[in-house]
Amino acid sequence: MNKMIAAVSLAFLTASTLAGAADWSGKELKLGVDPTYPPLEYKNQDGQLAGFGIDIAEALCQELKARCIWVESSWDGMIPGLLARKFDAIASSMTITPKRMEKIAFTDRISNAPTRLVARRGSGLLPSVESLQGKRVGVEQGSTQEAYAKAVWGSKGVEILSYQNQDQVYADLVVGRLDASLQGAIQASHGFLDKAQGKDFEFAGDTMNEPTFFGVGDGIGVRKDDVALREDLNKALATILANGTYARINQKYFDFDVYGVK
């Protein structure tokens, strides 16, 4: 008798769980992306979206049996675009921070990309107020790096210049309009330092991990009231982490574990 009750209870619980989940099968899932941040999200030579974040999101859509529809946006327009329902989620390697969580919710961590300063080789610059006083540092608009630089350095003699995208930051760094740039270490390594334009530059100082500004990793951003979507994405993420899909995508772009990197 007890076994029968347990079986009925389990069946009821399973049915309730499935009933509460959104059915994405065959439906479109609109994802916001800023494709100017290689190797995470960018456009290849054919103009097609590519990168680690793109592949991960496509794998999540496959688990949900949904169809990814990509909606391009400037970085500083990501959260406003999500709240205005221009897309269903932000799949553009957005760092999970307390400030952003006041406005939107996030999935579990997708990856962890620490922040680092980049400067010309031999400059001797370090990511500190003392070293950067009187210098010009470039950041991307709406980024956690912009928030940090303005709050911690901007009021203490460091000139912070904000750009619409990361490519513009690097362009001004190369021609000498900037003394340094502040961005995610993975993006800097694969999107600039290993390119011809970045040959005269290097990481300056250590990794920056201030949790108040740089959070606990990157996640997919969703509206706070889209609880079912967040849960479904988390379940899909757990699946691709467990079945090896995440690891295969990781190996395609990196020679280290981007999920657990500190």
What are the sequence ranges of the domains in the chain?
A: 24-112+216-253, 115-214
pLDDT mean across residues, the chain: 90
Residue-wise pLDDT tens digits, 4-40 = 334 334 333 333 333 344 688 889 999 999 998 889 9
Buried residues in 30-66 as b, exposed as e (16+ CB within 10 A): bbbbbbbbbbbbbeeeeeebbbbbbbbbbbbbebbeb
Answer yes or no: are the C-beta atoms of 137 and 173 closer than 8 Å: no
Q: For position 261, what pLDDT does the model report? A: 61
- Of 259, 165, 185, 252, residue with least CA distance to 217: 259
Cα(150)–Cα(162) distance, rounded to whole angstroms? 10
Residue with tokens 């901007």: 154
pLDDT band at 209; cut points 50, 70, 90: confident
Residue-wise pLDDT tens digits, 43-76 = 999 999 999 999 999 999 999 999 999 999 999 9
Q: For position 22, what pLDDT does the model report? A: 61
Q: At what angle do helices 245-253 and 227-242 cross, to 10 degrees?
A: 80
Copy the structure tokens of residue 223: 């509206």
- 24-112+216-253 with 115-214: one CATH topology? yes
**Class at the top of the CATH hierarchy for domain 115-214:** alpha beta
The fold of the 24-112+216-253 domain, in CATH, is: D-Maltodextrin-Binding Protein; domain 2 (3.40.190)
Copy the structure tokens of residue 245: 């899909």
Cα(24)–Cα(41) distance, rounded to whole angstroms? 24
Q: At what angle do helices 52-64 and 245-253 cross, to 10 degrees?
A: 160
